[in-house]
């Protein structure tokens, strides 16, 4: 054992958000009891790819006595990690637990007194097949990404498009984000990791007609290029009134 650079996590600052976890390609960090933990010294290369991802500044690089980094052991560790189960979380938060959902028929609530009875009919079923959906929270190796036709949607699309579930979502795992308000470079890196680690067959990007929203397409294309994979990208543009204006490669 010799002195070398290695990650140190300040648990007093860590809030368990888990943003650091997917940034570590060696799988050296895991959320345990709501806090980020270094799994084993041999998995940490000490390069600090996770530092810039921590919003709380809880991760630093220090020098201490530690076992040497073992690249082969880290590779085996990553490949042997089981796919997260439904009760495991992407970020230490129960609301972000990975789930594979089955579409269900939900009954509409009873109409108010004196109102129309039309609402008593069965509502259209939800086509959502995975949770979470926020791109920041979805692990790159989430099981629902395997052999998937991934749908990447701007946050506003489902609010504008009344038939979003039936026309675009059904049969596809979903991730969402806002190219204007969120960290675009982080999204490029996250999508790149998804494409590298999961066998995604195609990527459909659906965005609003406003100019800033087309940034989602640039994010997707940059990720595909960085991944080195030949993944087709289809673009769908939605109007402010929820109409499909354009759909194509």
Domain boundaries, the chain: 2-80, 94-103+125-248
Q: Model-level pTM greater than 0.75?
A: no
Is beta strand 233-238 parallel, antiparallel or unpaired with respect to 244-248? Answer: antiparallel
Helical H segments across the chain, by residue range? 20-23, 71-80, 157-160, 164, 184-197, 215-227
- For 11-60, what is each residue's pLDDT tens digit? 999 987 777 887 788 889 988 877 889 999 999 999 888 877 788 889 99
CB burial string 197-228: b at 16+ within 10 A, e below? bbebeebbbbbbeeeebbbbbebbbbbbeebe
- For 67-102, what is each residue's pLDDT tens digit? 999 988 888 887 765 444 434 444 455 566 777 786
What does the block give as tokens for 196?
Answer: 């590298």
Q: What angle, rounded to 10 degrees, do the helices at 184-197 and 215-227 form? A: 40
Could you tell me which CATH number the domain at 2-80 has?
3.30.70.20
Residue in the block written with tokens 């308000």: 181
Assess if CATH 2.40.50 describes domain 94-103+125-248.
no
Report yes or no: 219 and 189 within 8 Å, Cβ to Cβ.
Answer: no
Closest CA to 4 of 48, 68, 70: 68
- For 137-146, what is each residue's pLDDT tens digit? 888 888 899 9
């Amino acid at each position: 054992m010799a002195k070398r650079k290695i990650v140190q996590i300040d648990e007093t600052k860590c809030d368990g958000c888990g943003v650091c976890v997917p940034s570590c390609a060696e799988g050296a960090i895991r959320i345990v009891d709501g806090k980020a933990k270094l799994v084993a010294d041999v998995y940490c290369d000490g390069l600090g790819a996770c530092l810039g991802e921590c919003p709380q500044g809880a991760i630093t690089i220090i020098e201490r006595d530690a076992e040497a980094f073992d690249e082969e052991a880290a590779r085996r560790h990553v490949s042997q990690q089981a796919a997260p189960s439904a009760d495991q979380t992407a970020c230490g938060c129960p609301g972000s637990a990975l789930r594979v959902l089955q579409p269900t028929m939900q009954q509409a609530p009873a109409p108010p007194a004196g109102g129309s009875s039309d609402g008593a009919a069965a509502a259209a079923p939800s086509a959502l097949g995975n949770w979470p959906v926020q791109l920041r929270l979805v692990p790159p190796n989430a099981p629902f990404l395997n052999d998937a036709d991934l749908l990447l949607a701007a946050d506003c699309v489902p609010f504008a498009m009344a038939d979003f579930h039936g026309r675009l979502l059904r049969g596809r795992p979903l991730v969402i984000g806002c190219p204007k308000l969120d960290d675009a470079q982080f999204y490029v890196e996250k999508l790149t990791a998804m494409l590298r680690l999961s066998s995604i067959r195609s990527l459909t990007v659906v965005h609003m007609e406003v100019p800033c929203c087309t940034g989602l397409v640039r994010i997707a294309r940059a990720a595909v290029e960085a991944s080195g994979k030949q993944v087709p990208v289809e673009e769908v543009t939605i109007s402010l009134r929820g109409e499909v204006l354009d759909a194509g490669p």
